[in-house]
Amino acid sequence: MEAEGLDWLLVPLHQLVSWGAAAAMVFGGVVPYVPQYRDIRRTQNADGFSTYVCLVLLVANILRILFWFGRRFESPLLWQSAIMILTMLLMLKLCTEVRVANELNARRRSFTDFDPHHFWQWSSFSDYVQCVLAFTGVAGYITYLSIDSALFVETLGFLAVLTEAMLGVPQLYRNHRHQSTEGMSIKMVLMWTSGDAFKTAYFLLKGAPLQFSVCGLLQVLVDLAILGQAYAFARHPQKPAPHAVHPTGTKAL
């Protein structure tokens, strides 16, 4: 009787927690990029942020949306992908504008050059949009033709979450290459780590496809590795070479 009397409180409370968790899933993924976006706008320098992070997330979330057509999963995960795609396009727009402004004498490059040596290093935001649209069109057409194949759908889902799990790898490599995390927002990485831990727990509790949970754990490990780099490089900073010149237009990767 006592338990039944508390139903009026527990049921709406459970619903409220469920809505809160769903909202955190939808919007939580973009929050880590807010401090990085603000830092780039404030300093007008995007060298510390690898735009290949944007590439990884764009590919991962486009594939995840296509996976949804073959195997339906939680709606918050679908909305999260759509919002993440918009966020990455905004990040790309800012980084491209800042980089071009700092490289006044650099040769202009475009997507239609089809130069693999300068892939994802174009001079106009519209070139990135063209590339994303081309990838979406090709991947969408292949998915349309193969949607009835269970093997294809499961492989598509695995590729989507595996690509997302590699999110931090470009930043990890960039930090290792420069032996520094200068310009990288520590707040962003801390938010990555907490967000990925929450996301992985959400996958496990909601019974999401196994691919989501496994790759979520891998993502947390990569985040921790980047935090380890930040700690190590802060304790043992690299000494700048004498008379070294550091151009403002250095690529992040």
What mean pLDDT, rounded, does the chain reach?
82
Sign of CA dihedral 8, 10, 16, 19: negative
Q: Are 174 and 252 in contact (CB under 8 A)?
A: yes
Please say if the pLDDT value at position 6 is more than 70: no
Q: pTM for the full model?
A: 0.73
> What whole-number distance in Å separates Cα of residue 49 and Cα of residue 96?
12
Please say if the pLDDT value at position 89 is more than 90: yes
Structure tokens of 227? 């935090």
Higher pLDDT, residue 250 or 201 = 201
Instruction: Tell me the pLDDT tens digit for each residue of 120-161.
Output: 989 899 999 999 999 999 999 999 999 999 999 989 988 888
